[in-house]
Amino acid sequence: MAEITFGDLKEREREARKELIVNTAKKLFSEKSFKSVTVRDIAKGAGISTGTIYRYYESLDELFLDVFFSDTNEIIRIIEGELKKGGGCTIRKFSEVYIGYLNENTSYYQMMSYFMPRGMLTDEEIEKINPIMQEVIDLIERLIKAVGHKGDTQLMARALFSALNGIMTSYAQYPGSSLGEIQKYTLVLAGYIADFFEMGARKEYY
């Protein structure tokens, strides 16, 4: 029978604190551009001191990366949940749910653009991020295989992932349109692209 040690409790509390910090950061990211959120903003928002943040994260970037990590996990959870519900046209379903998430969490793809550039991440950080990103790709790949695709499903998964992210970069909050219009339009684009992939997946393409 699993015993709960004192160390476990400590660890849990630590995780709870990190979660508080990460969630505060997420909340602030939804209010303003993620790069304009400061340590003081987060500390204030979380009701703790700036110094405390540095007890849990060595730098702001490390914290941001954890938000990214957490968001990615959330995406996976949401999509797995959604997929359990429905039947049929799953690539499309995935695409819509994913874009829906990005619409609600605009900082996600902003962080992606921020972290991708060469030299931004240490090897250690890359090793932390890679597996979870691969999970997303794997999840998409499963959908593609489900349709019976015979080609390079990994490649196709990556292509779809890229294409969807691009919708956000290009139209996420396109200036001049109302938020609702934009969300509707990005969903249309997502559906359009998804259909191509759906179609492609059904063929023995590549």
Question: Could you list the residues that contact its own copies (CB under 8 A)?
Answer: 33, 35, 106, 109-110, 112-113, 116-118, 120-121, 123, 125-126, 130, 155-156, 158-159, 161-176, 179, 188-189, 192-193, 195-197, 199-200, 205-206
CB of 148 to its own copies, least distance (A): 17
Token output for 8: 């476990």
How many residues bind DNA (CB under 7 A)? The answer is: 19
- Residue 40, interface with DNA (CB under 7 A)? yes
Interacting partner of 60 out of DNA, its own copies, none (Cβ under 5 to 8 A depending on kind): DNA
- Residue 52, interface with DNA (CB under 7 A)? yes
Q: How many Å apart are CA 113 and CA 162, to the nearest integer? A: 12
Q: How many Å apart are CA 198 and CA 155, to the nearest integer? A: 14
Among 17, 128, 145, 158, binds DNA (CB under 7 A): 17
Give the number of other CB atoms < 10 A from CB of residue 66. Answer: 19
Cβ–Cβ under 8 Å, residues 93 and 80? no
DSSP state of 176: T
